[in-house]
Amino acid sequence: CHLIHYLRLSHHLIVLNYLICTFDKLKSVSSEDIKITDAVFDGVEVRVFEPPVKGDESLKRSVVYIHGGGWALASARTSLYNNLCRIMAESLNAVVVSVEYRLVPEVCFPEQYHDALRATKHFLQPDVLAEYSVDPSRIAISGDSAGGNLAAAVCQQLSKDEDLPVRPKLQALIYPVLQAFDFNTPSYQQNMNMPVLPRYVMINYWIDYINGDYGLAHELLVNNHTALNVGRALSFRARLNWTSLLPPSFKKSYQPVVQTTGTAAIVERLPALLDVRAVPLLADDATLARQPRTYVLTCENDVLRDDGAMYASRLERAGVPVTLDHFHDCFHGCMIFTVWPTDFSAGVQTRNSYIKWLDENL
């Protein structure tokens, strides 16, 4: 059984890596005026996209962008993310900092989180912002999928840092992965076999990220790690109770999967399952209340749809201005598929909506 899980995941990763490498050979979207430089921010590699100075303009807006890929794939330098960040820099006339955090299997949690946090805090220093001519009052933190996870976790930590001289104005999360507590939310049940990100693949991404064992996959799938007899999980249950956090159109006729008796040893072996730095949806209300104005993009055909929707609901209840931008006909990962031969309308549609929100709010 463990071997089957491993082979299925290996095949999935091989296919995704092939696609990423293939797209990397394609011609990038033309934006000759955008200056692209590679730098190191507090030991973390980043790629910086700078639009040209226009007229008597002094300071620009900025976006710190954290790419997706299950904490294990892709790069700030791949054409897919290079194109997205170039288009963002050009469309928003903003400095975009794309974070090249280290990946599984080189490192596991919490190193990806630490990389993203270190790079972001370095950029937020007044002298660094001045070097890039960035307005310290107009900075967004953003990311997609696993990058959305890291962006949310970084934002939460920044909100707790009392000595931080500059804070982000916005956070923008694109189909973010935000919890490993319940793998039977309505969207996980509805989209369990959906291409690009089936449920078993997302569970295995989590196992790799928190340095677990594929033998635990089935236990996680049936929520044995958060059963009613798992004391450490009880206090968190209300923070992601989808029966109260999701709208009826998301809940449909699905029922909660709550085990009475499970396996408490899982969270003892893998404490990251309940670590808010890995699982931002588990943050307390006080932390959520300190978050900046937030944009959350979700797709109907995505196991992670309800992660984003629940986070939007909890932020809104905590008093944070939130825009939940839901796309009924779109799928996980679609925003980066905007270049031939995968120039999907879903990618262009979601990207345009995301950039429009940033333009209007940043």
Contacts of residue 264, defined as CB under 8 A and 6 or more positions apart, other chains included, come to 227, 229, 230, 231, 232
Q: Could you read off the pLDDT of 93-111 as tens digits, one per residue?
A: 999 999 999 999 999 999 9
211 found inside a domain: no
Task: List the single range of 1-10, 77-86, 334-343 with lowest mean pLDDT.
Answer: 1-10
57 found inside a domain: yes
Reply yes or no on whether the pLDDT at 28 is more than 50.
no
| Contact by Cβ (8 Å): 322, 171 | no
30 found inside a domain: yes
* Structural domains counted in the chain: 1
**Set 5, 12, 67, 332: catalytic member:** 332
243 found inside a domain: no
Rounded Cα gap, residues 140 and 361, in angstroms: 10
Burial pattern 48-78, b for ≥16 Cβ within 10 A else e, equals: bbbbeeeeeeeebbbbbbbbbbbbbbbbbeb
Q: Bigger pLDDT: 345 or 349?
A: 349
Residue 273 has a CB neighbour count (10 Å cut-off) of 26
For position 243, what pLDDT does the model report? 98
Judge whether 145 counts as a catalytic residue. Answer: yes
192 found inside a domain: no
With the C-alpha atoms ordered 38, 39, 43, 46, is the resulting torsion angle positive or negative? negative
Judge whether 332 counts as a catalytic residue. Answer: yes
Q: Could you read off the pLDDT of 171-209 as tens digits, one per residue?
A: 999 999 999 999 999 999 999 999 899 999 999 999 999
Closest CA to 358 of 143, 54, 160, 132: 143
Domain that holds residue 132: 1-180+273-360
**Set 144, 302, 306, 325: catalytic member:** 302
Give me the mean pLDDT over the 84-91 stretch.
96
Closest CA to 358 of 320, 325, 318: 325
> Which domain CATH number covers 283?
3.40.50.1820
Contacts of residue 317, defined as CB under 8 A and 6 or more positions apart, other chains included, come to 285
Largest interatomic CA distance in the chain: 66
Residue 37: beta bridge partners?
A: 48
**Three-state SS at 231:** helix
Rounded Cα gap, residues 109 and 207, in angstroms: 10
39 found inside a domain: yes
Q: Could you read off the pLDDT of 48-67 as tens digits, one per residue?
A: 999 998 777 789 999 999 99
For position 77, what pLDDT does the model report? 95
| Contact by Cβ (8 Å): 346, 329 | yes
Reply yes or no on whether the pLDDT at 14 is more than 70.
no
Closest CA to 277 of 210, 184, 224, 231: 210
| Contact by Cβ (8 Å): 20, 74 | yes
Judge whether 122 counts as a catalytic residue. Answer: no
Residue 222: beta bridge partners?
A: none
6 found inside a domain: yes
Residue 167: beta bridge partners?
A: none
**Set 31, 62, 142, 145: catalytic member:** 145
Reply yes or no on whether the pLDDT at 25 is more than 50.
no
Is pTM beyond 0.85 here? yes
Tell me how far apart the terminal alpha carbons of the chain are, to the nearest angstrom: 49
Where helices occur in the chain by DSSP H, the ranges are 2-24, 79-92, 111-123, 126-131, 146-160, 186-190, 199-209, 217-221, 231-234, 242-245, 248-251, 265-269, 285-289, 305-317, 345-361
282 found inside a domain: yes
Tell me phi and psi for residue 163, to 5 degrees.
-90, 0
